[in-house]
Structure 1
Amino acid sequence: MIQQETILKVTDNSGAKTVKCVKVLGGFKRKFAYLGDIIIVSIKTVKNFSKIQKGEIHKALIVRTKKKINKKDGCAICLYENSVSLVGKQGRTITPIASRVFGPIPKKLSISFPDFTKISGETF
């Protein structure tokens, strides 16, 4: 569960290290975001020599959460961190800014967002 003011890791090679959730998209009364939701983030720390600057506002896709994910076959998956991948700002199309996503990505995302499975290494 991600809400406003949550600090998140960035798991792609866009140049940002950590971001802060500014707004959860999907309705004006919505308080929490889960796996596969889009949020608006502010960049807090960046890597050296990156195109992205500290303080910029971007959209991000939630890739991993600490909250337990229950699958249809009865098993559950717990991950160790809350992390996002930055996506493009333009329009309703969701295209990743980065050319690579580090770490595993759930199959739920690979069905909904096929662009992320092309740049990811592994799915579960």
Structure 2
Amino acid sequence: MIQQETILKVADNSGAKTVKCIKVLGGFKKRYAGLGDIIVISVQQLRNKSKSTSKVLKGGVFRALVVRTKKRYKKRDGSVFLLEENAVALINKQGNPIGTRILGPVPKSFKEKKIYKIC
């Protein structure tokens, strides 16, 4: 579960390393975001190698899709899985990813939904 002021890792190659959650989108007074939710983030740190070729700047405000959470996720068939870190993938206002690759595991439910172009 992601809430305001949460520090997250970035799971794509957009150039950002860590980000901070500013706002959880999706409803009036929504406090927590889970897998597949969209949040507003601010870039806190950039990757060392890509400072000159980065697609984002430090302090920039973007939208992001939550790709991994430490909170357990229960599927409809009763199975449960959890991941080791909180991570997001940066997207623009149209919902397209800013980076070209997603690093690390992505839940299979994203591929089944076909809503996001993250997979």
TM-score normalised by the chain length of structure 2: 0.91
Alpha-carbon deviation of 1:86? Answer: 0.1
**Structure 1 position 114, deviation (Å):** 4.6
Alignment pair present for 1:54 and 2:55? no
Alignment of 1:71-110 (within 5 A): 71-89=75-93, 93-110=94-111
Which has the larger share of strand? 1
More helix by share: 1
- Give the gaps of 5 or more residues in structure 2: none
RMSD: 1.1
CA distance in 1, matches of 2:112, 2:95: 13
Give TM-score, length-normalised by structure 1.
0.87
- Give the partner amino acid of 2:55: K
Distance 1:7 1:53 in 2: 17
- The percent identity for this pair of structures is 54
| d(CA) in 2 for partners of 1:33, 1:95 | 19
Tell which has more relative contact order, 1 or 2 (C-alpha 8 A, sep 6+). 2
Unpaired segments ≥5 residues, structure 1: 118-124
For residue 72 of structure 1, report the CA deviation from its aligned partner.
1.9
Change (3 A) 1:42 1:114: closer
